[in-house]
Amino acid sequence: MNEPQEDYNAFNSWDNFGATLMMCSVPAVMNFVFTKEHDIFFSLVLAGIGLLVSLVVLVLSLVTRWRIIGAFVNLAGMVLTGLFWAYASYCWWIQEDTPAEPAATEQPAEQKA
């Protein structure tokens, strides 16, 4: 009767990895979407950094088994969600205010009479 209850909502090591990987992939996607040239190289660099951070969190979670890591990942997710929404809204708003470049139209060749 005195056994502590297990928290079924707590993150395990693989949950920490998945959540961190998703949080770290958002900047790469946002970089690709909101840059005019769709910068693939820098997006891949950001995705690689996110993968490395996620692997570090996974190894740390597997080795230490500290429950506090899941709490920090959860807290980081809540904070970053707000920041990502604010940044995406800002970028979307900036893109709407920027005038689009006029489409190149071909001038009809003068007809010789």
Contact 10/67 with Cβ under 8 angstroms?
A: yes
Q: Phi first, then psi: what are they for 86, rounded to 5°?
A: -65, -45
Per-residue pLDDT of 38-65, as tens digits, reads 889 999 999 999 999 999 999 999 999 8
Is the per-residue pLDDT at 74 higher than 90? yes
Q: Tell me the residue type at 83.
A: L
Judged by average pLDDT, the poorest of 28-32, 72-76, 107-111 is 107-111
Distance CA 53, CA 12 (A): 17
Is the per-residue pLDDT at 1 higher than 80? no
- Cβ-in-10-Å burial (0-12, 13-18, 19+) of 21 comes to middle
Pairwise pLDDT comparison (59 vs 100), residue with the higher score: 59
Query: pTM, whole model, 2 decimals?
Result: 0.74
Distance CA 68, CA 109 (A): 72
Give, to the nearest 10 degrees, the angle between helix 13-34 and helix 67-97: 10
